[in-house]
Amino acid sequence: MVPSVTYNLIWSVIRRIPKGRVSTYGRVADICGLIGQSRLVGYALHALPRDTKVPWYRVINAQGRISFPERSEAYRVQKRFLESERITFKQGKIDLTRFGWPPDAEVRRRRT
């Protein structure tokens, strides 16, 4: 399958998330100009090739949580990757004010 232009745009934004930071599906969508289409970001991540270098694990949901079921292997893998970048969890959540990317001001600027 050849990825769509939209998926490539989403992946390029995710590649920009710095080590030790996370972004939400919604923020990634907003940066791409896909306001309100956070689900599309999830579809793009699902379509990533297995050997990808895109840091998919840096994308979490708006509540600061990993979206995979907590007891799943995928959840454990994503959590391990994030913890290896010194991202901490408190009661299963990541503090988006501390670890979130980009800062809120940058998202607002891109919307205008």
pLDDT per residue over 44-71, tens digit each?
Answer: 999 999 899 999 999 999 999 999 999 9
| Count of domains forming the chain | 1
88 CB-near residues (< 8 Å, 6+ apart)? 94, 95, 99
CATH at 36? 1.10.10.10
Q: Which domain holds residue 19?
A: 5-111
Calpha distance 112→94 (Å, rounded) = 28
Q: How confident is the model at residue 91 (pLDDT cuts 50, 70, 90)?
A: very high
The sign of the torsion formed by the CA atoms of 23, 39, 69, 73 equals: negative
Calpha distance 56→91 (Å, rounded) = 22
pLDDT tens, position by position, 6-44: 999 999 999 999 999 999 999 999 999 999 999 999 999
